[in-house]
Amino acid sequence: MSTNTDAKASEIQAAGYEVTHSKSPVFYSLYDRKSDLQHQTHYCPGCGHGVIHKLIAEAIEELGLQDKTIFVSPVGCSVFAYYYFDVGNVQVAHGRAPASATGIKRSCPDKIVISYQGDGDLAAIGTAEIIHAANRGEKITVFFVNNAIYGMTGGQMAPTTLVGQKSTTSPFGRRPVNEGFPIHMAELIAGLEAPVYVERVALSDNKNLMKARKAVRRALEIQRDGVGFSFVEILSPCPTIWAKDPVEARKWIAEKMIPNFPLSVFKDRVHEPVQNAEVPHHTVPETLEINEAQAPVVNAFGDRRRSADDHADEHEPVEITPRKDPHHFEQFQIKIAGFGGQGVLLLGQLLTEMGMREGLEVSWLPSYGPEMRSGSAHCHVCLSKQRVGSPLISHPDVLVAMNEISLRKFASQVAAGGLILYNHEHLPEDFALPQARVVCIPASSIADKLGSTKATNIVLMGALLEETECLQGATAAGVLETKVKKVELKEINRRALDAGRDFIDHYVRVGAVSQPDGFAD
């Protein structure tokens, strides 16, 4: 992209002109979405969004932040911001930009995360998100485009619509007695304790434009320096909905909007020390409430020692044998499905906790209907050596189907060469075998014989571990020991885990369990 811009610049220079200002390389060179006129934006002539995009792009460029910026675009006229900014982009649901930006910033604290929102998005449907993100002092930057109207949907009243201003939903002009007063977001945010920088600027004339430019840059500097939450409200023209030409629209900002929304730096605590700047982080053992010294050492060492203290005899040399990585996968995805009450979600949680104890990145995503028992339930478990991008699993490596409905519903989703563990003696007669191997295991009957059908999920867990070797049996025993409080159930679970493993070892046909994909080698 910058190559294109550079080429254009040298072309112009070659023609004898001096380039004094050119398009920021933070922008893509063309607006790809259009079939023609790709050099134009999708915004109406005179719209403030284009100007604000430019101010942001230039600030990103000047501060050298292009490679680390993630832009969160809203729903509204600026929904396509990701077509313009050549940075990381996420487009989110209406009003949710500060919430998504929070998640992104917290998981990638070294990135510059920008939440960009209109007034319908930020001050109506997204009021809760912005207030709480600001109140938590998230280290993000929010650019709030206040054009006093809903632009994209054709001019409904926004929370910022002026008293007396007509809109499609306030055709006689906004009346406080009926529609309430305009909301002053900058003042509201500045009233909270945590935000560091809050300013309102306007695109009314060149002088104010320069102030807006400075504010945009400053807000990003604050984030770059890790100081805290920065917020810039920008009074911006919407000539189309206001039914004005671009010049009149700017005049209207100066004459009508600014008196109602005064321009000011409402808060600037940039140089004050920020209290509790660091979000407290807990180690995995702290989170799991297990003693670090007792956590099984499985990643670095091949033996089953729980800690160096196990070698209590000081005279006995502690032999540490580095072992090969115990996990044969980069990412392993499991879907567990059945009726509510079968321990579907619990099995997912146990596997997730095991993954954590073995030093993996994990996620667990439950899905269940309103009925806690007998309704259908399923969960997604992801075990990974890398950060988990999305907890949603479309093609699991393993499906644990605890009932026939789940088998029929999810079998086709299993990745080619994957595995289905089906809780039954045999497959339904009319069931067409998909691309995956199916191991039938009568887990409920096995658990029943052990003293409790509640242990069905643990029988399946034993079978899963034995068949796929995705996690260590010793970790499973440790997790069950801490999670199950009832003594009698502990014993049943121990036996259920063994029974599941035995079933795979002794009853599943030899050959049926070996796969070239590394499940069982």
Ligand X SMILES: Cc1ncc(C[n+]2csc(CCOP(=O)(O)OP(=O)(O)O)c2C)c(N)n1
Residues that bind ligand SF4 (CB under 6 A): 43-44, 47, 49, 77, 147, 151-152, 238-241
Pick what 483 binds: ligand SF4, ligand X, none; C-beta below 5 to 8 Å, kind-dependent. none
Is 92 or 504 the residue whose CB approaches ligand X more closely?
92
Angle, CA 171 vertex, CA 169 and CA 175 arms, to 5°: 85
E-state strands within 60-138? 69-73, 88-91, 112-118
Is 238 or 297 the residue whose CB approaches ligand SF4 more closely?
238
439-447 contacts: CB < 8 A, separation 24 or more? 439/463, 439/467, 439/504, 439/508, 439/512, 439/513, 441/500, 441/503, 441/504, 441/508, 443/402, 443/500, 446/496, 446/499, 446/500, 446/503, 447/492, 447/496, 447/499
Is 143 or 503 the residue whose CB approaches ligand X more closely?
143
Is 169 or 482 the residue whose CB approaches ligand X more closely?
169
- Are 345 and 379 contacting, i.e. CB atoms less than 8 angstroms apart? yes
Q: Work out how close the CB of 119 gets to ligand X at its nearest, in angstroms, rounded to a whole number.
A: 4
Q: Work out how close the CB of 253 gets to ligand SF4 at its nearest, in angstroms, rounded to a whole number.
A: 13
Pick what 396 binds: ligand SF4, ligand X, none; C-beta below 5 to 8 Å, kind-dependent. none
Pick what 75 binds: ligand X, ligand SF4, none; C-beta below 5 to 8 Å, kind-dependent. ligand X
75 binds ligand X (CB under 6 A): yes
- Are 56 and 25 contacting, i.e. CB atoms less than 8 angstroms apart? no
CA 19 to CA 22: how far, in whole Å? 7
Is 238 or 344 the residue whose CB approaches ligand SF4 more closely?
238
Q: Work out how close the CB of 161 gets to ligand SF4 at its nearest, in angstroms, rounded to a whole number.
A: 14
Which residues on adjacent β-strands are paired with residue 202?
Answer: 235
Q: Work out how close the CB of 298 gets to ligand SF4 at its nearest, in angstroms, rounded to a whole number.
A: 56
- Are 414 and 398 contacting, i.e. CB atoms less than 8 angstroms apart? yes
Binds ligand X (CB under 6 A): choice among 24, 147, 230, 453: 147
CA 295 to CA 474: how far, in whole Å? 11
- Which residues in 93-132 contact ligand X (CB under 6 A)? 94, 118-121, 125
Binds ligand X (CB under 6 A): choice among 73, 78, 102, 363: 78
Going by the DSSP 8-state scheme, the letter that residue 34 receives in this structure is S
158 binds ligand X (CB under 6 A): yes
Pick what 240 binds: ligand SF4, ligand X, none; C-beta below 5 to 8 Å, kind-dependent. ligand SF4
Is 185 or 345 the residue whose CB approaches ligand X more closely?
185
Is 235 or 360 the residue whose CB approaches ligand SF4 more closely?
235
151 binds ligand X (CB under 6 A): yes
Ramachandran angles phi, psi of 235, nearest 5°:
-75, 125
Single-letter amino acid, residue 24: S
